[in-house]
């Protein structure tokens, strides 16, 4: 599965890179604005559902070795509700896991705030019963009488859980810097691609749909290559302008970029039409005839009201059985609605809390008694 994973990741990264680079094309300008608008919301709620179906024998063997059901991810649905207040850095997350291999759904509720992480003790205990069966009785004894298990985000465990927040460890200042860099990129490199359009994308007002299969991705890449080569000098100058205006690059890196751009401008001018056509044909062949997997990506983002946004995304991949030696397929989908909420109130747990240091101490005590 690891080899297949990196091939999937490669395809998705190509799509993301192309989309971001062309983000200031006239066609995708409002899509970028909409994404930035959603990311800039300070108080919001989100309800969504993720579906996962993976049939892959090597992965199933890994599950079996870990003592997990081999069909754990063959038919799995994850429903979630998120409350987010980035002004106070307080978040509440409620998850419902519905695995076909288990009779009952699994739940997990946790909060992040005041530099602490809180997980509902009852949910934590249920997960331990399934995934840490050997330690269940011990954990149950320690959590008796408590509603919450908590730890500081400064601890190792807390730092890991902090990544459940939308932006992980990023501070507000770092986020603002990132958004400024996006604007700089759009005002420079984006403008150089203002004449490029993603033909596979359908844009109507604040609704954007994109559907790509193997041939569609090949067409998108080739259209991008042609546009880049035809406008390379302008694009190279735009990249230099961005690099020179960005705080992310040192003086040495800016000097190296200038030298490299000049060399590439000369090299691109020397590319013959025959060489161009050969590259385009190679791209199409590699993604259609020679590609060891067939994929289909559907993406639909829309602003449905003044304060509401929806996302419907689906990725389907079928791997070539002859190439890999066994049948394998992946289906992933997500549907969610995000709403801005001006008066959002998120209450962190305040009572019946067992802190991780006490949890560890009680663990040692229980073991000693045994």
Q: How far is CA 278 from CA 100, 194, 265, 275, 284, in A?
A: 48, 26, 20, 5, 10
SS3 146: coil
pTM over cut 0.75: yes
Q: What is the pLDDT of residue 368?
A: 43
From the list 61, 118, 102, 76, the residue with the least C-alpha distance to 328 is: 61
Give the pLDDT band of residue 6 (cuts 50, 70, 90).
Answer: very low
What does DSSP assign to residue 164? Answer: G
**pLDDT averaged over the chain?**
84
Provide the pLDDT for residue 136.
83
Q: What is the pLDDT of residues 91-130, one digit of tens each?
A: 999 999 999 988 889 999 999 998 899 999 999 998 888 7
Q: Which residue has the higher pLDDT, 367 or 251?
A: 251
Over 70: is that where the pLDDT of 354 sits? yes
Hey, where are the domains in the chain?
A: 1-42+180-322, 44-85+90-164+327-370
pLDDT value, residue 14: 54
Q: Give the side-chain half-sphere CA count within 13 A for 23.
A: 20
């Amino acid at each position: 599965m690891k080899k297949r994973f990196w091939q999937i990741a490669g395809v998705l990264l190509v799509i993301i890179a192309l989309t971001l680079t062309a983000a200031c094309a006239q066609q995708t300008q409002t899509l970028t604005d909409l994404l930035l608008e959603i990311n800039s919301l300070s108080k919001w709620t989100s309800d969504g559902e993720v579906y996962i179906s993976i049939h892959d024998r090597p992965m199933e063997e890994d599950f079996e070795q870990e003592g997990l059901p081999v069909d754990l991810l063959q038919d799995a649905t994850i429903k979630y509700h998120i409350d987010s207040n980035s002004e106070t850095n307080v978040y509440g997350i409620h998850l419902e896991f519905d695995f076909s291999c288990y009779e009952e759904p699994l739940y997990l509720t946790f909060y992040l705030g005041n530099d602490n992480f809180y997980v509902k003790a009852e949910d934590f205990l249920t997960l331990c019963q399934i995934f840490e069966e050997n330690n269940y009785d011990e954990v149950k004894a320690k959590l008796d009488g408590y509603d919450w298990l908590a730890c500081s985000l400064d601890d190792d465990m807390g730092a890991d859980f902090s990544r459940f927040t939308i932006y992980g460890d990023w501070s507000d200042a770092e986020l603002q810097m990132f958004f400024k860099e996006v604007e700089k990129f759009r005002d420079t490199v984006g403008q150089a691609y203002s004449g490029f359009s993603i033909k596979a994308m359908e844009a109507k007002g604040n609704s954007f749909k994109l559907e790509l299969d193997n041939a569609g991705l090949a067409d998108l890449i080739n259209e991008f290559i042609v546009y880049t080569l035809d406008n390379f000098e302008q694009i190279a100058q735009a990249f230099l302008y961005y690099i020179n205006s960005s705080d992310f690059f040192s003086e040495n890196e800016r000097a190296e970029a200038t030298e490299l751009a000049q060399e590439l401008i000369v090299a691109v001018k020397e590319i013959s039409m025959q060489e161009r056509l050969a590259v385009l044909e190679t791209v199409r062949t590699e993604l259609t005839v020679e590609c060891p997997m067939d994929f289909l990506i559907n993406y639909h983002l829309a602003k449905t009201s003044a304060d509401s946004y929806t996302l419907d995304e689906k990725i389907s991949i079928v791997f070539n059985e002859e190439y890999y030696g066994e049948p394998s397929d992946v289906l992933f989908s997500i549907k969610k609605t995000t709403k801005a909420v001006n008066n959002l109130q998120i209450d962190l747990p305040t009572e019946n809390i067992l802190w991780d240091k006490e949890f560890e101490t009680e663990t040692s005590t229980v073991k000693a008694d045994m």
